[in-house]
Amino acid sequence: MNWETLRPDIRWAVEAAQDKKARNVTVLDLSNLAAFSQYFLLCSGTSSPQLEAITDAIEERLRQHGIRPQHREGRPGAEWVLLDYFDFLVHIFTPATRTFYDLERLWGDAKQVEIAGQSR
């Protein structure tokens, strides 16, 4: 899987995250793992305010296309925000929290797409 084959809604979410300087943007394809979601979008921000900015940008970009999250976890100041779009989940972490939970390792059998041109 590559950038061109990603669904438009996931690409819009990635672009919105990148617009707010999200780091280490990764998409995991869980569709062949009988998981509760088809995709995870993972990204990091360097501070709680940046996590909120990334979250708001993703929600706004998808809302422009008539897509709203089913659920949102994480309050202002949180180190992990989750946006549940039913068949894909967006995880926005601080670097330390992302390292602690290490979803890339936990879901190591998933196909992974790292987005080119991103900050690490």
Per-residue model confidence as pLDDT tens digits over 22-44: 999 999 999 888 668 899 999 99
Q: How many domains does the chain have?
A: 1
Q: pLDDT value at position 75?
A: 81
In a domain, 50, yes or no: yes
User: Regarding predicted confidence, which is higher, 70 or 120?
Assistant: 70
| CA–CA separation, 102 and 43 (whole Å) | 12
Query: What are the CA-CA distances from residue 92 to residues 38, 45, 52 (Å)?
Result: 17, 7, 9
The 8 Å CB, 24+ separation contacts for 18-21 are 18/115, 18/117, 18/118, 19/57, 20/45, 20/50, 20/53, 20/54, 20/57, 21/45, 21/50, 21/119
In a domain, 49, yes or no: yes
For residue 36, give the 3-state DSSP assignment: coil
**Structural domain harbouring 43:** 3-114
pLDDT band at 1 (very low <50, low <70, confident <90, very high): low
Q: pLDDT value at position 116?
A: 60
Query: What are the CA-CA distances from residue 111 to residues 2, 30, 58, 67 (Å)?
Result: 10, 7, 22, 24
In a domain, 64, yes or no: yes
Q: In what order do the strands lie in the sheet with 80-84?
A: 71-73, 80-84, 88-93, 39-44, 23-29, 111-114
For residue 83, give the 3-state DSSP assignment: strand
Q: pLDDT value at position 34?
A: 67
In a domain, 119, yes or no: no
In a domain, 120, yes or no: no
- pLDDT tens track for 59-118: 999 999 999 999 999 987 889 999 999 999 999 999 999 999 999 999 999 998 867 655
In a domain, 23, yes or no: yes
In a domain, 90, yes or no: yes
In a domain, 105, yes or no: yes
State the CATH number of the domain containing residue 85. 3.30.460.10
